[in-house]
Structure 1
Amino acid sequence: MTSPRLWLLPCWFFIASSYAAIDNSRYDLSVNGLWFAEQKILGPTPSYRHEERLYQTSYGVQGQAEWQGSLANLPWRVAIFGNWDEQDPERRYWDIREAHATKIWQDFELTAGISRVFWGVSESINVVNVINQADLTESFDGKVKLGQPMISLFYAASEADITLIYMPVFRERLYPLRPNTGMKLADNAVFEDGKEDGGWATRAKFYTDNGEWAIGAFTGTRRVPILRPSPSSGRLMPYYIQTHNLLFDGLYLGEVLTPKIEVKAGRELDDNFVAINAGVEYRTYPNISNLNEVTLIGEYLYDSRKETVENHGQNDVFIGMRAEIGTDSDMKLLFSHDLSYASQYLELSLQYRINDYVRLMGKATSIMNASPDDMSLYPYKDEDFVRASLHVAF
Structure 2
Amino acid sequence: MSRNSRRTRILFVIHSLGYGGAERVLTDLVKNLDSRAYEIAVCTFYDPPGFRTEIEEANIEVHFLEKKRRLDVALVVRLARLMRKLKPDVVSMHCRDAFNIGTPASMLARIPTRIATEHSVGSGRSQFLNRLAFTFFSRRWNATIAVSQFLKDFMVQTWGIPTSRIRVIYNGIDLGRVDYVGDRNELRRVLGLSSQALIVGNVGTLKIEKGHGAFLEAASRIASKNEAVHFVMIGDGPLMNDLADQARQLGISSRTHFMGARTDAVRLAAGFDVFLSTSNVETFGLAAVEAMLLGVPIVGFDVGSMREIVTDKENGFLVSPRDTSGAAERVLSLLEDAYLRESMGKRARVSAESRFSLPVMIDHYSQLLSAR
Q: TM-score range by the shorter chain?
A: under 0.3
TM-score by length of 2: 0.24
TM-score by length of 1: 0.23
Greater share of helix: 2
Larger RCO (CA under 8 A, 6+ residues apart): 2
